[in-house]
Amino acid sequence: MDQILVQTLHGLVNGMVLAMVASGLTLIFGIMDIVNFAHGDLLMLGAFVGASVLGVTGNYWLALLAAAVVIALLGALLQVTTLRPLIGRDPLTTILATFGVSLVIQKYALWQWGPSVRRISEPVRGDFTMFHVQYPWYRIATAILAGLILAGLWLFLKYGKYGIWIRATTQDRVMAQAMGIPVPLVYTAVFAIGSAMAAASGVLFGPFAGVTQTMGFDFTLRAFIVVVVGGMGNLGGSILASIFVSLLEAYAAIVVSPAQAVIVSFVVLVLTMLFRPTGLFVPTPK
């Protein structure tokens, strides 16, 4: 019983972090048709930047902010140099290009920070007890923070002037251009926002398991799964899907080893693509 409670909490917390990662990915896909293979590696790089800033200043919140800003700038640079020339080509070429970028980022991190695991110490300490179960406060704080950031993103997209530009571009890029929206600039900004979301979730996730240069691929794959299960380009759907998949994985980890529990989410993905390719958490298209 206790184990189920702990796994439920784990699933919810991991789901919120994953939702942040996936929201960046789905934003980028929904607007630019770019399948960003380097998303997890931007997360990893963000976590490393955060760990370094934390090491120098000792301030966790500063590290979070710095990582988001640095990776957002890097994302904008990447978009302008590698992805902008590919606009209008087959979306598959963007997978290849971002795959190349992901290799470069991984090896750069290895070169810069070495192969050892970096620890990010949590800013909120202590455990709390509920039904005889000890659970660290930091994980709860992470889930709440991730929820707040996602809510902020949603509000920005819904009511902010630039958010409306972004949504207009998603719906009809030609019309948006005709209405005077600088579409290329919107593309770059969206890629930067997505990268910043990835970096921030990297810093949030850092205290859970430490930071290594190989953590990126795992996140890329999970984010893909969640984005497809939730419906490509659908923000709310991918948040629900993140929590759903993470909970399933957490429960599966009670029975089998965590390494094998990953298969559960693979199976969910395959079933979703076969029987409901538009996504589990979106209204049925007419």
Partner 1 sequence: MTATPAARPRPPAVGYWIGFAVVGALLVVAPLVLPPFWQRFATEILIWGLLAMSSDILIGYTGMVSFGHSAFFGLGMYGAAAALLTVKPPSLGLALFYGLVAAGVAAVFVAYFATRLRDIYFAISTLVFSQIFYVIIFTWTEVTGGENGLTFRQPSLSILGFWSDRFTPTTLHWFVLAVVLVSYLLVRRITQSPFGMVLQSIRENEPRTRAIGYHVERYKIVAVMLSGLFAGLAGVLYAIQNKFAAPDFVFFVVSGEVVIFNVMGGMGTLVGPFAGAAFFLLLREGLSRFLTEYYLIPLGIIFVIMIIFLPQGLLGFLRRRLND
Query: Rule CB under 8 A: which residues touch partner 1?
Result: 35, 82, 85-86, 89, 91-93, 95-97, 99-101, 103-104, 106-108, 110-111, 217, 221, 224-225, 228, 257, 259-260, 262-263, 266, 269-270, 273-274, 277
Q: Which is nearer to partner 1, 136 or 216 (CB)?
A: 216
Q: What is the smallest separation between the CB atom of 97 and partner 1, expressed in angstroms?
A: 5
Q: Phi and psi at residue 278, in whole multiples of 5°?
A: -80, -10
Count the alpha carbons within 13 Å of 149 in the hemisphere toward its beta carbon. Answer: 28
Q: Which is nearer to partner 1, 111 or 159 (CB)?
A: 111
Q: What is the smallest separation between the CB atom of 181 and partner 1, expressed in angstroms?
A: 26
Q: Which is nearer to partner 1, 95 or 140 (CB)?
A: 95
Beta bridge partners of 133: 130
Q: What is the smallest separation between the CB atom of 85 and partner 1, expressed in angstroms?
A: 5
Handedness of CA 143, 216, 209, 192 (dihedral sign): negative
Q: What is the smallest separation between the CB atom of 100 and partner 1, expressed in angstroms?
A: 4
Q: What is the smallest separation between the CB atom of 43 and partner 1, expressed in angstroms?
A: 17
Q: Which is nearer to partner 1, 35 or 143 (CB)?
A: 35
Structure tokens at 242: 């993140």
Q: What is the smallest separation between the CB atom of 279 and partner 1, expressed in angstroms?
A: 12
Q: Which of 126, 119, 133 is nearest to 47 (CA)?
A: 119
Q: Which is nearer to partner 1, 1 or 92 (CB)?
A: 92
Q: What is the smallest separation between the CB atom of 241 and partner 1, expressed in angstroms?
A: 14
Alpha carbon distance 252, 242 (integer Å): 15
Q: Which is nearer to partner 1, 31 or 157 (CB)?
A: 31
Q: Which is nearer to partner 1, 54 or 241 (CB)?
A: 241
First to last CA, the chain: 43
Residue 62 exposed, middle or buried by CB count within 10 Å (0-12, 13-18, 19+): middle
CB distance 202 to 46 below 8 Å: yes
Q: Phi and psi at residue 129, in whole multiples of 5°?
A: -115, 135
Q: Which is nearer to partner 1, 204 or 269 (CB)?
A: 269
Residue 175 neighbours by CB under 8 Å, 6+ apart: 168
Alpha carbon distance 195, 193 (integer Å): 5
Q: What is the smallest separation between the CB atom of 170 and partner 1, expressed in angstroms?
A: 17
Secondary element (H or E) of residue 133: strand 133-136
Alpha carbon distance 87, 91 (integer Å): 8
